[in-house]
């Protein structure tokens, strides 16, 4: 499959005419840190005026949907809570409704407040996460605080900016010793762009556990199909009329390719043209454009 580079007014209009539903990654596409990228906001406004359905699909599991809406509001971008799909929400919903997590069990969290809030939203008890007792260093070879908890029936992992040995050791014990304990990851992003650079992502937080366990987690976020199928089914979207817009080949673009929908790659984030053009590239986008804001010319 060849990738079409969009560069003219006619190119942009053709894509807008072809699709009714636009799924957007956020980091590296709409914003970078706390800064909007180019005229991304104007493009989103234009698409809404054309009657397009917009959804925001992010692997960022550090914020809940409501917290993400607060960020959209602050940036002057229209977004409803039910248009926002985070890997934290998807993981919590999948654990609750698909895996039918028992009410008498709890999840041990390696992650931030957003993941805890989404578990709360679906009624799943949890420990770890932002609990001050787990956000401490242990003394050398002191395992007295790494106690067993038979109620833990799942370890749910996302990006944790307070990762430490205690959390890894606790999670390892639960996954090794608690019968049937589930190992779930919100996503395996190796990095994410912010503040003018690229930093370690959730995949780096989860890697120590995959190393010591010798097995991989069930991954819910992009590029896995669980989140896409949830969106398509919940809103009755046709695949042929839906396009995924993102900046990463291994998550956003692969997400669309595996799910059977077309993709648009922007060059304002992690990956560049040479990444999808090289032999053995993880995925190739249907279209590529310099930045999402390039479409804003249609509304001018």
Which residues does the annotation mark as catalytic?
Answer: 20
Question: d(Cα 199, Cα 190) in Å, to the nearest integer?
Answer: 8
DSSP lists the bridge partners of residue 53 as 21
How far apart are alpha carbons 220 and 198 in whole angstroms? 23
String of DSSP letters for the chain: -PPEEP-SHHHHHHHHHH-SEEEE--BTTTEETTEE-TTHHHHHHHHHHTT-EEEEEE---SS-HHHHHHHHHHTT----GGGEEEHHHHHHHIIIIIS---TT-EEEEES-HHHHHHHHHTT-EEEETT-TTTSSPPPTT--TT----TTEEEEEE---TT--HHHHHHHHHHHHHSTT-EEEES---SEEEETTEEEE-HHHHHHHHHHHHSSPPEE-STTSHHHHHHHHHHHT--GGGEEEEES-IIIIIHHHHHHT-EEEEESSSS--HHHHHSTT-S---SEEES-GGGGGGGG-
Torsion (CA) 162, 227, 155, 70 in degrees, nearest 10 = 40
């Amino acid at each position: 499959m060849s990738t079409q580079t969009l560069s003219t007014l006619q190119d942009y209009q053709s894509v807008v005419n072809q699709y009714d539903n636009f799924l957007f990654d956020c980091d590296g596409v709409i914003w970078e840190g706390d800064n909007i990228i180019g005229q991304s906001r104007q493009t989103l406004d234009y698409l809404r005026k054309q009657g397009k359905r917009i959804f925001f699909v992010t692997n960022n599991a550090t914020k809940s949907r409501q917290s993400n809406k607060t960020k959209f509001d602050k940036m002057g971008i229209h977004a409803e809570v039910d248009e926002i799909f985070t890997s934290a929400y998807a993981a919590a919903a999948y654990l609750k409704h698909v895996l039918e997590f028992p009410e008498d069990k709890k999840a041990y969290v390696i992650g931030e407040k957003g993941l805890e809030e989404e578990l709360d939203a679906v009624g799943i008890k949890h420990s770890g996460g932002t609990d001050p007792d787990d956000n401490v260093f242990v003394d050398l070879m002191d395992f007295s605080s790494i106690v067993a908890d038979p109620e833990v029936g799942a370890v749910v992992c996302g990006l944790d900016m307070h990762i430490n040995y205690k959390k890894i050791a606790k999670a390892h014990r639960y996954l090794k010793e608690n019968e049937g304990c589930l190992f779930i990851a919100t996503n395996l992003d190796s990095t994410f762009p912010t503040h003018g650079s690229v930093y370690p992502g959730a995949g780096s937080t989860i890697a120590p556990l995959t190393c010591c366990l010798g097995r991989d987690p069930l991954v819910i976020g992009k590029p896995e199909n669980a989140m896409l199928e949830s969106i398509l089914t919940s809103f009755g979207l046709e695949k042929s009329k839906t396009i995924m817009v993102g900046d990463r080949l291994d998550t956003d673009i692969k997400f669309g390719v595996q799910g059977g929908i077309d993709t648009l790659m922007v060059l304002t984030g992690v990956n560049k043209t040479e990444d999808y053009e090289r032999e053995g590239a993880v995925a190739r986008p249907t279209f590529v454009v310099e930045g999402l804001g390039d479409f804003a010319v249609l509304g001018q």
